[in-house]
Structure 1
């Protein structure tokens, strides 16, 4: 769909969804465990908010009709497990594409409890364990802010990316480094 000037209504929504499909995002599995049960799902809506304050803060966006958001709010904790480029199969399991139900999805992977009790998937790029700081419902989604309690994993490698409605790999030039100014140099 070409993007000229779209102002309102269904055309704007459709153009927004199409445009957002072109925005690359890392793929993560968000998990929680506690009184509301062990639940996890695949997300691409995760970002850092602030590194300053008492603890760093990140946010996740979850559809308000899904069971993960409700479980996170009741459990008070969650873990963001950032997947590597070779872990699309994990994304598919937690997206429900292999018909694994909750909590059987966890039987398909190796995990361990994080310091906050949330399941941390082993072998991922990095894991961010968080306590719920606050949440806000915006349209169809709950935006949940998490205060970081633990970072672990950090196996290195490139993250799994989702763009243009498909998994992708980052193409990173190996012959260049990035200076502190943010400019690539040979």
Structure 2
């Protein structure tokens, strides 16, 4: 038997630092979400990414509400998820920084839908924005897959316990 928990009952006291350490034990791939904002390329690093559904073809990622890049990409209604390869730590770091010309530091080309595709990635997934929901200090973004391209890399870039790692497939 399941009982519903009220909002007042759901507010446990959780140490944020401890939670971050625990969640850091979950290894995740690293993606860079790219698109065009007022005709200019834009993008950011994100490690909260996953497949959601095969039918319809949906992916999900969760950009921080403090992101300066996501609002513009959201307004454009389309984006590309670039799944980074093991040798792209510098690309991940570049797109995680604020105040730099990110696209001046990487090789890229335009995809079929106009969104930037980063050279050297494992794959490129071009999407239309399907939905955006509140997720605490993050947005929960659903993308409807419109185009898929297998990239050049063989092994993924992994983030685990605050560090990059790679795996050989």
TM-score, length of structure 1 as denominator length: 0.79
Equivalent positions of 1:27-38 (< 5 A) are: 27-35=30-38, 37-38=40-41
Instruction: Provide the rounded CA distance (Å) in 2 between the counterparts of 1:156 and 1:67.
Output: 29
Q: Could you tell me which of 41, 44, 48 is aligned with 1:41? A: 44
Q: How does 1:157-172 map to 2 (within 5 A)?
A: 157-172=154-169
Query: Comparing 146-155 with 17-26, which one deviates more in the overlay?
Result: 146-155
CA RMSD of aligned residues (A): 1.8
Aligned length: 159
Higher strand share: 2
What's the counterpart of residue 121 of structure 2?
Answer: 124
8 Å contact 1:110–1:122 — kept in the other structure? Answer: yes
Match of 1:51 in 2: 54
- Flag structure 2 segments of 5+ consecutive residues without an equivalent: 1-10
- 8 Å contact from structure 1 (residues 130, 150) kept in 2: yes
After superposition, the C-alpha distances for 1:137-167 in whole angstroms (9 at most, x for unaligned) are 1101111110111111332411000001100
Which segments of 5 or more consecutive residues in structure 1 lack a partner in the other structure? 1-6, 173-186
Q: Which residue of structure 2 aligns with residue 143 of structure 1? A: 140
Question: Which of 138, 152, 158 matches 2:149?
Answer: 152
- Distance in 2 (alpha carbons) for counterparts of 1:15 and 1:36: 41
Counterpart selection for 1:25 from 17, 24, 28 = 28
CA distance in 2, matches of 1:64, 1:155: 32
Distance (Å, rounded) in 1 between the aligned partners of 2:134 and 2:116: 25
Deviations 1:48-74 (A, max 9, x none): 000112xx1101100112122201211
Counterparts of 1:143 and 1:72, CA distance in 2: 14
